[in-house]
Amino acid sequence: MIADQLPAWQIVIPMLAAPLCVLVRNSTAAWVVAMVANLLTLLNAWALFVQIRAEGVIRYALGGWAAPTGIEYYVDIANASVILLVSFISSVVMVFAFHSVRKTVLTGKHYLFYSAWMLCLTGLLGICITGDAFNVFVFLEISSLSTYMLIAFGQDKRAFTASFRYLIMGSIGASFILIGIGFLYAATGTLNMVDLAQRIPDAESKRAVLVAFSFLTIGLMIKSAVFPLHGWLANAYQQAPLVVTAFLAGTATKVSLYVLLRFFFSIFGPDYSFGAMLLNVVLLPAAVAGFLLMSLVAIYQTDLRRMLAYSSVAQIGYIIAAFCIASQAGLTAGIVHIFNHALIKSALFMSVGCIIYQVGHAHSRSFDNLFSTMPFTVSAFIISGLGLIGVPLTVGFVSKFSLIGASMEKGWWLIGAMVLVSSLFAIVYIGRVVEVMLFRKSRMETPHSVGSNEAPLMMLVPLYVLVAVSIWFGISGSTTLDVAGQAARALLGGYQ
Amino acid sequence: MQILGLYNYWIVIVLMMAGLYIMIARYNLIKKMIGLGVFQTSIFYLYISMGKVTGGSAPILDDNVTQYSNPLPHVLILTAIVVGVATTAVALALIVRIHEEYNTIEEDEIKAIEAAEHDS
């Protein structure tokens, strides 16, 4: 009975938790509600994932209204795994949030913070699970609006301007997506994704489809912070409370990238997107310029959060470059990097969160000999940092290896070489910070430099859960590659 | 004739570009929001225009009517209007807080304040 309703529960659980958080009001109680809802969501996502692997695609008619009339949830291996990823990151970061929120978010507003978080999670999961193009827009706005709220919880007054700038950019992006969906509806007369995929080949010559494609491309590029349209990301990541950044870095842009995949591969089809529309002519230079320039920019950042934000834009560049290869191998590399980067970047931001929790700032040049006082946090930072660079036995290596392999297979030697060059930049920007933390002797003998100054256990445990998972998937890379390969096949094969 | 016959789409294009331009060119945050409002409204017009079927009646079942306009875009736009209102509400709330903190809602002045604080 319950097993039939899994796709609906996936959205309903976090959605019900949001008003519940507001009702209980008390900070700890709201956290407990959010945490329980997160765990249930994760459990549900796991059950859904297992069910998909055993039985194949699920098409769930909401309210019993069959597909072309009603809204359906379409779950295959590609979005089931993204749903699992989002629920997992959200649950882990929620444990971390308990102490961090108490210290950084205004007292008395905690219940609103958790409520906004649950709404954001609802939106992100909804974007993934839905099989209706207009529904994507609605869930996108649910997650975006709550994200603006979460960013504005930041301590500095610049959080408000960062949030406002993101709101303007995000609304333009979402509006572009809305226009694109409108033109698609005008050209085909349907909003259901499976129907759209069937009808677009007949309508390909219509200008409305072409216009829809262009608007959707730009809108999704803004939402997933692809290089020239990434302006909102650095400020937002820097000014938001660190928990929010850790949550968003692993989920929000990743979900947008999934939507991009869904539209370009499942709905328009790779032949139309990359053959007729020459999408790679637009995206590939943006992706390559993105990962080269942004890695370079990251080197010059003095704020740790800003450095990691620019590094995120660079990583999105890798993912887009992998999508542009548009082959089974390329798509697999892109999807695997979505997972791996989500794990690494959330772990990195969480370790920065621990540092800020104890030290009070994130100026990377003043972490003299931090290792002696916060050994566990700094070790987690170093392990995840190695993953970001792509050292063997880390998840970063798995994704970079498959990305370079895929570009070689396509004959794009230059892309592979540039990925290596930008990895060298990553060594520089991670290395600079690590060098200060490990080796530089403290210039002023502050009393707290003696003895342990480690973050609370409830922050370290979730951090190490992510680190452990990333090490596990780094050593046995075949598990994630296998799932990503199946997801790539599902996306390239279109709807059955 | 073809061009004049599609006048509703011309209105959409003019509104859309005007809204986008206001958002880019104006530094005042409230004016930016007005631009966003105009931009979003143009999208509502776009959807509603395409729902009209020439010669179609209002979509209420009646024995004397054979052809109806498409009601679906209207329903979609009802949702989009709600989303637009929510966006405006969040943005205005943010502007109020920005005004409290910076004492201005001109973006160039806000940038100057942020730059001055960053240097000090």
| B113 neighbors B106 (Cβ within 8 angstroms) | no
CB spacing of A138 vs B110 below 8 angstroms: no
A398-448 residue pLDDT tens = 888 899 999 888 888 888 889 899 999 999 999 888 888 888 766 555 545
Nearest to A433 by CA among A305, A332, A277: A305
Of A137, A157, A167, the CB nearest to B101: A157
Q: Which residue, among B76, B79, B81, B106, would best test binding to A if mutated, counting the most A CBs under 10 Å from its CB?
A: B76
pLDDT of residue A496: 62
Report the C-alpha gap between A383 and A370 in whole angstroms. 15
Report the largest interatomic distance among the alpha carbons of chain A, rounded to a whole angstrom.
Answer: 73
pLDDT for A65: 84
A89, part of any domain: no
* Chain length of chain B: 120
A179 at B interface, C-beta within 8 A: yes
Domain count, chain A: 1
Contacts of A69 in chain B (CB under 8 A): none
Give tens-digit pLDDT for B11-41: 999 999 999 999 999 999 999 999 999 999 9
CA distance A208 to B50: 12
Dist CA B87 CA A175 (whole Å)? 11
B77: chain A residues, CB-CB within 8 Å: none
pLDDT tens column, B48-88: 888 888 778 888 888 888 888 888 888 899 999 999 999 99
- Contact criterion met (CB < 8 Å) for A160 and B98: yes
Residue with tokens 């990541």: A237
- Give pLDDT, residue B60: 82
CA distance A186 to chain B (A): 7
pLDDT at residue A181 in the model: 94
Does the domain at residues B6-52+68-119 carry the CATH identifier 3.40.718.10? no
> Would you call A472 an interface residue with chain B, using a CB distance cutoff of 8 Å?
no
Within a domain: A100: no
Closest Cα in chain B, distance from residue A79 (Å):
24
Domain that holds residue A309: 278-496
- B71 three-class SS: coil
- Chain A residues in contact with B96 by the CB 8 A cut-off are none
Residue A101 maps to a domain: no
Rounded to an integer, what distance in angstroms lies between the CA atom of residue B74 and that of residue A393?
54
What does the domain layout of chain B look like in residue ranges? 6-52+68-119
Q: Cβ of A137 and B80 within 8 Å?
A: yes
Q: Cβ–Cβ contacts within 10 Å for residue A24, how many? A: 18
Here the tokens at position A102 are 């108490």
Regions in chain A scoring below 50 on pLDDT: 447, 449-450
In this prediction, what percent of chain B has a pLDDT beyond 70?
Answer: 98
Measured CA to CA, the distance from residue B28 to residue A204 in angstroms comes to: 42
Chain B nearest-CA distance from A476, in A, is 44
* Interchain contact, A134 vs B98, CB within 8 Å: no
Q: What is the pLDDT of residue B120?
A: 59
Q: How many CA atoms lie within 13 A of A391 on its CB side?
A: 13
